[in-house]
C-alpha cells in the first residue's frame, strides 16, 4: 500500500451511528462517506479501492441497490464502482445525485417531481446517467433541494431540474422541469463557481464574488430584503462590494463566506440558526460576529437547524453535525484529502486504536482499545505513574464504560472530544478522577453547548455530583430561565430528594417562583 492509500483510509466515520455495526477493518478502508435520510440512517461510502457501498433503511430506493430492501450489511452499488465520485448531494425524498471525476451525473431514489432528470416520475432504484443537455458537459458539483437538483459545469454554467413550485429551477415559470435545463436569464454570460440549494431555493456564487438566488423566499432566504419568490436568478444587491467565495444552505436559511473570512447569514431563524443572537428571520444578509477569527468554510444542512463555520485552525465542520445536529447527517460528501503528508497531530490521530504498532490494550466492557505506552506516558500523569510500575500489555478497566474510556484515550491522541452532552458527563467524572483539568473544561463546554429543556436536570445533577461548580451554575440558571418546561420533564420528576430541596430553595432565592 502506498502512502496515499494509507492516508485515504483515515476518514473518521466512527462518530456516525449508522456506521456503528461495521467492523474496524472495514471502517479503515473508507475514503469518502455520506450519511443522510430523515433519521440519519442511510449511508453511502467509497473505499480506497473505489468500490461504492450502501447501507440503511433504503427509503424510495435511495441506496441505489435495485430494490427497496433495507440492509444493515453494506451492499455494493456495482454501477458506481471505479467511478470516482467528486460531489454528492441528496434531497428529502430522498433522491441522491452524484458527479464523477469524468464529469458525468448519476441520480437515483425518489422521483415524484422528476428530480432525477430522466423525464419520468418513476422512482429510480439504481443509479442512472442524467444525459439530457449534459452529454457534452462536464459537471463538477451537484446540489439538491427537497425535490429539485442543480448541477455546475466546468464552463461555469448551471443546469436545473425537478420540482419548481416556487421557481427554484429558475426557468421563469412554476412548472416542474422533467429534464436538465440551463439556468440563464441574468446568469447567461456569467461564470458560476459554487452552488447550493435550500429546501425550495437555489444559490449560485460567481467568479467575481457576486451571489444570486432564486426560488422560495418566504423566510427571506434569498437575501433580497423582501419575502417574494423569484422564478429567475436575482443578485443579492445588499452584498455589493463584498466578494463571496462559498455559499451553504440550510432548510430555509443561507450562509455565505467572504474572501476575507467573514460570514453573512440570512433567512429563517426560529432556532437561532443564523447566529445573530436572536430568533428573528432576516431578509437581508447580516454579518455574523466570529470574534475576529477568519473563517475558511461555512456549513449547513436541511434536516437539522444547525450552522457551522470553521476557522483556519479549527476542527472540521463535520464534527459539528456528527455531535450536535439531530438527525446526525453529513452536510456534504466527507472526503479525505489526497495529500500524503501527515502532521504530527494527524499521525497520532491515525494510530489511535489501531493494533498495527500498538504495545498496550485496554479491555473495557469486553471490547479492546489499542494504544501506545510512550504516548500515554507523555500525555498523562496518571499513566506515567501506572505504566512505570507495570509492564502488562493488557489492562482491564471496570470503573468506566467503553464509550467514556475510549473517548478519554482518544482525547490523549487528538486533544479533542466528540461526544453528545449526556455522554460527556461520564467523561467529566473520569476527568475529575484522573485530575485532567483541561479535559474537565472541554467536557463542561460540550455539556453547555448541548443543554436543552429535556436534559437540563440530568446535566445539573451531574455537575453537582462531580463538583463542577461553573457548570452547575450554568445548568442552574438555564433551569430557572426555562422553569415551566424543565419542571414538566421526566428527569425533574425523578430528581434526587436532596437535590430537589436544594434546587427549590436556591431557585426561590433567585425569585423564580414570584408571580
- pLDDT band at residue 10, thresholds of 50, 70 and 90? low
- For residue 508, count other CB atoms closer than 10 A to its CB: 11
Helices (H), ranges, 390-468:
402-414, 421-433, 437-449, 456-465
Which three cell numbers mark 189? 454570460
Between residues 218 and 504, the one the model is more confident about: 218
Read off the pLDDT of each residue in 441-465 and give the average, rounded to a whole number: 88
Q: CA–CA distance from 296 to each of 72, 261, 323, 354, 480 (Å)?
A: 36, 6, 20, 31, 38
Residues ≥6 apart with Cβ < 8 Å to 312: 261, 294, 296
C-alpha distance across the termini of the chain, in Å: 71
Task: Evaluate if residue 9 carries a pLDDT over 50.
Answer: no
Q: What is the DSSP string of 139-199?
A: EEEEEE-SSEEEEEETTS-EEEEE--TTSTT-SSS-S-EEEEEE--GGGTT--EEEEEE-S
**Alpha-carbon gap, residue 412 to 379, rounded angstroms:** 6
Strands 177-182 and 158-162: antiparallel
Give the model's pLDDT for residue 323: 74
Task: Evaluate if residue 5 carries a pLDDT over 70.
Answer: no
**Alpha-carbon gap, residue 29 to 277, rounded angstroms:** 42
Q: What is the DSSP string of 85-121?
A: EEEEEE-SS-EEEEEETTS-EEEEE--TTSTTSSSS-
| pLDDT 10s digits, 165-187 | 999 999 999 999 999 999 999 99
Read off the pLDDT of each residue in 409-415 and give the average, rounded to a whole number: 93
Residues ≥6 apart with Cβ < 8 Å to 13: 19, 27, 30, 33, 35, 45, 334
Minimal CA–CA distance to 262: which of 243, 249, 281? 243
Collapsing DSSP to helix, strand or coil, 82 comes out as coil
Beta bridge partners of 447: none
Collapsing DSSP to helix, strand or coil, 332 comes out as coil
Give the model's pLDDT for residue 1: 25
Minimal CA–CA distance to 101: which of 119, 112, 87? 87
Give the model's pLDDT for residue 488: 92
Rounded to 5 degrees, what are φ and ψ at 348? -65, -45
CA dihedral 419, 423, 425, 426 (to 10 degrees): -110
Minimal CA–CA distance to 135: which of 161, 104, 114? 104
Task: Evaluate if residue 2 carries a pLDDT over 60.
Answer: no
Give the model's pLDDT for residue 239: 97
Q: How many helices (H) and strands (E) does the chain have?
A: 14, 26
| pLDDT 10s digits, 39-91 | 889 999 999 889 999 999 999 999 999 999 999 999 999 999 999 999 999 99
Read off the pLDDT of each residue in 403-422 and give the average, rounded to a whole number: 90
Any idea which of 24-38, 255-269, 317-331 has the lowest mean pLDDT? 317-331
Read off the pLDDT of each residue in 205-228 and give the average, rounded to a whole number: 97
- pLDDT band at residue 4, thresholds of 50, 70 and 90? very low
- pLDDT band at residue 6, thresholds of 50, 70 and 90? very low
Q: Hunting for cell 500489555 — which residue is that?
A: 393
State the burial class of residue 465 (Cβ atoms within 10 Å of its Cβ: 0-12, 13-18, 19+): middle
Between residues 327 and 79, the one the model is more confident about: 79
Which three cell numbers mark 89? 448531494
Which three cell numbers mark 462? 451531574
Read off the pLDDT of each residue in 243-248 and give the average, rounded to a whole number: 95
**Alpha-carbon gap, residue 448 to 461, rounded angstroms:** 14
The edge-to-edge listing of strands for the beta sheet with 201-206 is 192-197, 201-206, 211-215, 230-235
Give the model's pLDDT for residue 337: 56
Give the model's pLDDT for residue 341: 58
**Alpha-carbon gap, residue 331 to 34, rounded angstroms:** 8
Q: Sign of the CA dihedral 221, 224, 228, 229? A: negative
Q: Model-level pTM?
A: 0.67
- pLDDT band at residue 451, thresholds of 50, 70 and 90? confident
Strands 295-300 and 124-129: unpaired
**Alpha-carbon gap, residue 65 to 202, rounded angstroms:** 29
Give the model's pLDDT for residue 417: 87
Read off the pLDDT of each residue in 101-105 and give the average, rounded to a whole number: 96
Read off the pLDDT of each residue in 273-289 and give the average, rounded to a whole number: 95
Minimal CA–CA distance to 348: which of 403, 415, 402, 408? 415
Between residues 412 and 4, the one the model is more confident about: 412
Which three cell numbers mark 504? 427549590
Highest mean pLDDT among 319-333, 396-410, 421-435, 496-510: 396-410
Give the model's pLDDT for residue 313: 63
Any idea which of 7-11, 170-174, 324-328, 458-462 has the lowest mean pLDDT? 7-11
| pLDDT 10s digits, 111-152 | 999 999 999 999 999 999 999 999 999 999 999 999 999 999
Residues ≥6 apart with Cβ < 8 Å to 314: none
| pLDDT 10s digits, 463-505 | 888 888 888 988 998 898 898 999 999 999 998 899 999 898 8
The edge-to-edge listing of strands for the beta sheet with 105-109 is 85-90, 95-100, 105-109, 124-129
Cβ(44)–Cβ(95) below 8 Å: no
Amino acid at each position: 500500500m502506498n502512502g496515499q492509500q494509507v492516508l485515504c483510509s483515515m476518514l473518521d466515520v466512527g462518530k456516525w451511528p449508522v456506521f456503528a455495526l461495521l467492523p474496524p477493518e472495514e471502517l479503515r478502508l473508507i475514503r469518502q462517506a455520506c450519511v443522510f435520510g430523515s433519521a440519519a440512517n442511510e449511508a453511502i461510502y467509497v473505499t480506497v479501492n473505489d468500490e461504492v457501498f450502501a447501507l440503511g433503511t433504503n427509503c424510495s430506493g435511495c441506496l441505489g441497490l435495485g430494490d427497496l430492501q433495507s440492509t444493515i450489511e453494506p451492499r455494493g452499488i456495482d454501477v458506481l464502482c471505479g467511478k470516482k465520485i467528486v460531489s454528492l448531494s441528496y434531497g428529502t425524498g430522498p433522491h441522491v445525485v452524484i458527479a464523477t471525476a469524468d464529469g458525468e451525473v448519476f441520480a437515483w431514489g425518489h422521483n415524484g417531481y422528476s428530480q432525477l432528470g430522466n423525464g419520468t416520475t418513476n422512482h429510480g432504484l439504481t443509479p442512472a446517467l442524467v444525459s439530457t443537455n449534459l452529454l457534452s458537459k462536464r459537471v463538477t458539483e451537484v446540489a439538491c433541494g427537497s425535490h429539485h437538483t442543480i448541477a455546475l459545469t466546468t464552463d461555469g454554467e448551471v443546469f436545473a431540474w425537478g420540482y419548481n413550485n416556487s421557481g427554484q429551477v429558475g426557468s421563469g415559470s412554476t412548472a416542474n422541469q422533467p429534464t436538465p435545463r440551463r439556468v440563464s436569464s441574468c446568469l447567461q454570460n456569467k461564470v458560476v463557481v459554487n452552488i447550493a440549494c435550500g429546501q425550495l431555493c437555489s444559490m449560485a456564487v460567481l467568479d467575481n464574488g457576486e451571489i444570486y438566488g432564486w426560488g422560495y423566499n418566504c423566510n427571506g432566504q434569498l437575501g433580497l430584503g423582501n419575502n417574494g419568490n423569484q422564478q429567475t436568478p436575482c443578485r443579492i444587491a445588499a452584498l455589493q462590494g463584498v466578494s463571496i467565495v462559498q455559499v451553504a444552505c440550510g432548510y430555509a436559511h443561507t450562509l455565505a463566506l467572504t474572501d476575507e473570512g467573514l460570514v453573512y447569514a440570512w433567512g429563517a431563524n426560529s432556532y437561532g440558526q443564523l447566529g445573530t443572537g436572536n430568533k428573528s428571520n432576516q431578509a437581508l444578509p447580516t454579518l455574523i460576529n466570529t470574534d475576529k477569527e477568519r473563517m475558511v468554510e461555512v456549513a449547513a444542512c436541511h434536516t437539522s437547524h444547525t450552522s457551522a463555520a470553521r476557522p483556519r485552525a479549527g476542527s472540521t465542520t463535520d464534527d459539528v453535525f456528527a455531535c450536535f445536529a439531530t438527525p446526525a447527517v453529513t452536510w456534504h460528501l466527507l472526503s479525505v484529502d489526497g495529500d500524503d503528508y501527515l502532521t504530527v497531530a494527524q499521525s497520532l490521530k491515525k494510530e489511535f486504536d489501531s493494533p498495527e504498532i500498538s504495545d498496550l490494550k485496554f479491555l473495557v466492557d469486553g471490547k479492546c482499545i489499542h494504544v501506545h505506552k510512550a504516548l500515554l506516558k507523555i500525555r498523562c500523569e496518571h499513566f506515567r505513574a501506572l505504566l512505570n510500575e507495570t509492564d502488562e500489555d493488557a489492562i482491564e478497566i471496570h470503573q468506566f464504560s467503553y464509550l467514556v474510556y475510549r473517548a478519554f484515550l482518544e482525547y490523549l491522541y487528538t486533544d479533542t472530544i466528540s461526544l453528545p452532552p449526556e455522554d460527556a458527563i461520564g467523561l467529566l467524572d473520569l476527568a475529575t478522577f484522573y485530575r485532567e483539568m483541561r479535559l474537565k473544561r472541554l467536557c463542561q463546554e460540550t455539556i453547555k453547548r448541548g443543554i436543552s429543556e429535556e436534559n437540563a436536570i440530568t446535566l445539573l445533577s451531574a455537575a453537582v455530583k462531580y463538583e463542577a461548580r461553573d457548570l452547575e451554575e450554568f445548568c442552574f440558571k438555564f433551569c430557572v430561565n426555562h422553569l415551566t418546561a424543565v419542571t414538566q420533564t421526566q428527569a425533574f420528576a425523578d430528581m434526587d430528594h436532596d437535590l430537589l430541596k436544594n434546587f427549590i430553595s436556591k431557585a426561590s432565592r433567585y425569585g423564580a417562583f414570584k408571580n
